[in-house]
Structure 1
Amino acid sequence: MSLYASGDRAGSFIVDAEISHLHGEQWDDDEEVSRDLGSQDLEVEISIDETQLHLKHTVAVDSSSTEVDFPLRGIPARFEPYSVTVKASRHDGRKVYTAKTQLYHLPRRTDGGSITKLDSLYGGLLVQNQTAGSTSTWSPLLPYSFYVSWDGWLEKSLSNVQKFKDDGYNIIHIVPNAGLANQAFNFTVLDQFLDKCDEVGLWVMYDMRWTYKNHTSVRYQVDMLKTHRSLLLWYTGDEPDGNSDPVHAPKATYELIKSLDPWHPVSLCLNCYNFHYAEYSSGADIILSDVYPIGINATYSTVWDTPCNTTYGDCGCDDCKGEFEDIAVRLDRFAEYQTWLGRNPKTFWGVPMAFGNESYWPRYPTPDEEITMTMLSLNHNAKGIVMWDYPTSDALAKATSQLSRVVASNEVARFMLGSSTVPLSVRGGPSMDAAGWRVGDKMLVSILSLQYSAWSSSVTVELPESACAITQVLWGSGHWRLVNGHLVKDGGESLETDLVVVQF
């Protein structure tokens, strides 16, 4: 976890010992590279400074995500992080590899504020029930919501908070008012809004897009809001790469926020395929990706009357083809960038398009397109969804409210945040995308048709092992069946989405 709180009894470290051709330390100058490294082991020793805790574990060479449990007893809670040293030794003792990390074991909150943990293994959020008062139970939260206009909708009535909650969304991202002198909010009205969110149990994603480079303003806002029970996380830069903000600005603000509030993660949204990704992404725990491919002309800008290619032009979606796959490619690329940089994995969220009739986008997405964009993001390892923007069209408001009953449910969060995302192969039929999340002897399977027409051929989704039953249909037609342990369906509708649970 990104942090542990007073009351937590144990934690775990994640040890990655993968072979890399891009970064790291030399394996051995004298050893054949072609040798079967996976059959060899490393003796790993983990020590935490200023404590008596020393852990020993054996991990396989070229393995990843090995968990090493440790007790928190004997590690006093404090605001300063503990330095952790990891040593991995070859069996013959000829080589020792070292790495450093930090451990946060924070004191109990006494000001009534919330705590949000970030799971470093699967990328999800864990929270405590903010309406139940003091509780030691942590639950996974899969955010499903919108960026919501403050001055255009929210500040008009406190009853809108309850409406948003009743429509099924579990968090709310409030977009500040750039027209105000402080480029943020009427803080008197905002405080009433946050009190209402505290009351109804609606988590808040707090946006400082216009002010995040002003550290005086950031300090004021964080100190004022950090004790609200409903605060889930902070949001700093909104497309800082697309706006060419100073590349080190997000990191500087990140460090300030962490010094003021170590209890909550920080997020930002990147717009570009890769414009100083390394620098901008270092300023957040969670990176959002806003790829808007619906209805665009990907080769010629209707706004600027210029062509668009890999080096020139703005067609509203950077290096896009105007296809659903643009969303999947961007999320996959961001994950690759983290690997190339040799950094720990980031958590990524998707920002599906829920607007239209403006600039590059001549129309709104249809409900089917909206659902496809959301589920495609989740299939490619997004751990949260925040659509742009609300209020939206009546059709999209209805469709997303219906989908929220599934995506924001505890059942789906248990799968998607409790295991790794596994890409699944699909044979036959139209262009499709499938993924699964396995917990115990069950797997949640998401299957999407990316084709704008119905299809009649037989399609097979290959599962990692033979399933014996379909136990639930959470969304879709329910016409899938098991053949030789795999999911099979004969024909389907355009942009069909199915979400089923199978048992092994």
Structure 2
Amino acid sequence: MRPAIALYLVTYAVGVVGQTWCGKNYMLGSPMAPPGGQFPLPTTTNQPLLAFRCAPAIKPYLASDKSGSIIVDTGLTHLKVEGAVPFYAKSNSTLAVSVTVNGCLLASGSVPVNATGLELPFSLSSLKPQKGPLTISCTAISEDDFNFKAISELKFMPDPTEGSVTKMDLRTGALMVQSNGGRGSTWEPIFPIGFYTGFDNYLAANLSVINNLKARGFTVIHPIPTFGNLTALNEVLDRMEEVGIFLMYDMRFSYMNNTAVTEQVNMIKSRKNLLLWYTGDEPDGTSDPLNSTTISYDLINELDGYHPVSLVLNCQDYQFTAYTRGTDIVMQDTYPIDINATFSAVYHTPCASDCGVCGCDNCKGNFDDISSRMEEFKWRLDVLGDKRNKPVWAVPQAFGGEEFWPRTPTGNEFLVQSVLSINHGALGIVPWDDPTPADVKESATQLALAMPAINKFLFDPHSTFGPVNTNGVDIGIWKSGSQTLLLATNLNYAPTTVTIGDVFAITSNEILNSGGSVQMDSNGQLHISLDSVGTVGFVL
């Protein structure tokens, strides 16, 4: 729950029995009742199932693109996930895959069973660019003549006459922008890192703030509405374009108003530095209509279509499927720092799975809440068949001293939240909120300046990832070619040393350090020493 939203609910809920957050009653005297809306757990089967899926590698392709590829996944599972059907052939067999559009063959090839991310190339010359998506039909035939089918969408659009395009690389989950801040001819991945940022009291009051944020390495600014003064808004957006920092445009207060959405999209979509749209701000918390995010998503794509849409979910498990239908990017804002996870000091009620609100839904009040939320969201998207299509981003806590959060995180605690999120799959870091204390800003700057080195591993489709969690230290290890990226963060409030093997290195290049070191011994083992809530990043 955001501080601003919490204040709104306090005012609105006085004397109202049954006011809810995440579907739960939280006012004193309200009855305890199951909120409903939980994600249905898939059943298991003894028979192996094949989850055959296909998707375009890039979304959207443009008329100026000459070729593309279709990504094929043929995972075996015992969970009855979306599209999974019984598989009777040998697990080491191959599938003859064909991809058609309007009945015409687009791509074909042989794909092993239980493979991930195999690409089938195709030419775009036979297709005509259009605003709406094309339906692609994928068929796989096993050596024993079993058939498997999947449906996906291919966006092949005209080149825009103005503004920018943000592509999604579905091989890695990266957003891709044109080089030189949207002005160049080549496409490169971007890791969005930057704060939800105060507008009237901060950005509009001093445009030099924008130059400072750019110099610190932040790639995106997410101005917090409302934007009552359009002259001031345009001055802020003009300065952002001048310095080359991307815009995440927020319609939280108006995304359910089609007229307002239409006005704002038409006003903003021609901006050269527009990265993506943002609609629902915790719609699961406020129980917005279940089709609200989908309605706005469809309208935005009708009006624009060249930039992805994002939203943030606050609840651990409330109407996840409904709200994520209306987004390309799913964000989570788990705020566990210094909370009382079992009793609300604001509403004087207990917090449990069927009642209460304590600022972090169904949390324990530690860093593990963040990694759990990341993994839960990714798993649900996988069950729904959307893991490849919808990356997950994180919103670290960068505030405090209000409502459920007595204090602001330290800079080191901020880095733990952020690196923990990246280790568990976050492809964007957008903290709430700026202005933030100096030590948090400095730690965020350290991470932002390290991201170019980290991106080479996150956004390499051929890199491999191995997670390690030992003795309360969370470690992400990416291997790309002859190099290894190691991000290690200490979830303990005490100095901790851990040892891991199978990491061969001749030299190491430190890219991030908030209290720690690494040392390789003669046996090829890596010793990682971290201060209390310390974090290190090395390229080995």
Query: What TM-score do you get using the length of structure 2 for normalisation?
Result: 0.84
State how 1:311-322 maps to structure 2 within 5 Å.
311-322=354-365
Among candidates 112, 119, 124, match of residue 72 of structure 1: 124
The equivalent of 2:138 in structure 1 is 86
Q: How does 1:150-299 map to 2 (within 5 A)?
A: 150-177=199-226, 184-299=227-342
Question: Equivalent residue for 2:527?
Answer: 488
- Following the alignment from structure 2 to structure 1, what is the Cα–Cα distance between the partners of residues 182 and 117? 34
CA distance 1:2–1:61, change in 2 (3 Å): same
**One-letter amino acid of the structure 1 residue matched with residue 383 of structure 2:** W
Q: Which moved more, 1:64-73 or 1:235-244?
A: 64-73
Deviation at 1:483, TM superposition (A): 4.8
Q: Write the distance in 1 (CA, Å) between the matches of 2:501 and 2:171.
A: 25
What is the DSSP-based 3-state SS (H/G/I as helix, E as strand, rest coil) of the residue aligned with 1:414? helix
For residue 117 of structure 1, what is the amino acid of its counterpart?
K
* Match status 1:342 vs 2:351: no
Query: Aligned AA for 1:125?
Result: L
Deviation (angstroms), 1:440: 2.0
**What amino acid is aligned across from residue 512 of structure 2 in structure 1?**
W
- State the alpha-carbon separation in 1 of the partners of residues 182 and 310 from structure 2: 26
Q: Determine whether 1:22 maps to 2:59.
A: no
The structural deviation recorded for 1:474 is: 0.8
Contact 2:179–2:185 (CA<8 Å) still a contact in 1? no
Q: Specify which structure has the bigger relative contact order, considering alpha-carbon pairs within 8 angstroms and separated by 6 or more residues.
A: 2
Match of 2:426 in 1: 382
Query: Residue type matched to 1:129 in 2?
Result: S
RMSD: 1.9
CA deviations 1:372-391 (Å, max 9, x no partner) are: 11100100000000000010
1:447 matched to 2:488: yes
Any idea what SS the aligned residue of 1:401 has? helix
1:384 partner amino acid: G
Q: Aligned pair in 2 of structure 1 residues 453, 25: CA closer, same or farther (>3 Å)?
A: closer
**C-alpha displacement at 1:248, in angstroms?**
0.7
d(CA) in 2 for partners of 1:216, 1:85:
35
1:7 to 1:471, Cα distance in 2 relative to 1, 3 A = farther
Q: CA deviation at 1:394?
A: 2.0
In 1, are the aligned partners of 2:98 and 2:105 still within 8 Å (CA)?
no
1:80 offset after TM fit, Å?
Answer: 2.9
Distance 1:470 1:38, change over 3 A: farther
Displacement of 1:131: 4.3
Question: Per-residue deviation at 1:57?
Answer: 1.0
* 8 Å Cα contact 1:424-1:462 kept in structure 2: no
Identical columns (%): 36
Change (3 A) 1:312 1:266: same
Aligned residue runs from structure 1 range 333-412, under 5 A? 333-345=376-388, 346-407=390-451, 409=452, 411-412=453-454
The residue that corresponds to 2:20 in the other structure is none
Match of 2:473 in 1: 432
Which amino acid is the alignment partner of residue 438 of structure 1? K
Q: Deviations over 1:263-300 (max 9, x none)?
A: 10000000000100000011110011100000001111
Is the partner of 2:440 in helix, strand or coil? helix
The number of aligned residues is 477
1:376-409 Cα distance to aligned partner (Å, 9 max, x none): 01000000000000101122122222332112x2
| Secondary structure in 2 matching 1:334 | helix
Q: In the alignment, is the contact (CA less than 8 A) between 1:371 and 1:400 conserved in 2?
A: yes
Contact between 1:470 and 1:500, CA under 8 Å: does it hold in 2? no
Q: Could you tell me which residue of structure 1 aligns to residue 100 of structure 2?
A: 47
2:147 to 96, 114, 125: 96
Quickly say closer, same or farther: Cα 1:209–1:483, change in 2 above 3 A: farther
Shift of 1:71: 2.3
Code of the aligned partner of 1:22: K
Alpha carbons 1:38, 1:63 under 8 Å: kept? no
Query: Match of 1:413?
Result: 455
Residue 9 of structure 1 and its aligned partner are, at CA, apart by 2.6
| Partner residue, 2:110 | 58
Q: Detail structure 1 runs of 4+ shifted over 4 Å in the superposition.
A: none
Q: Report the counterpart of residue 192 of structure 2 in structure 1.
A: 143
In structure 2, the CA distance between the partners of 1:344 and 1:381, relative to structure 1 (3 Å rule), is closer
User: Cα offset for 1:452?
Assistant: 0.5
Q: Secondary structure at the match of 1:38?
A: coil
Unmatched segments (≥5 aa) in structure 2: 1-57
What secondary structure is seen at the aligned counterpart in 2 of 1:250? helix
The AA in structure 2 aligned to 1:475 is L
Q: Which amino acid aligns with 2:459?
A: L
**Other structure's SS at 1:39 match:** coil
State how far apart, in whole Å, the 1-side matches of 2:99 and 2:525 are. 42
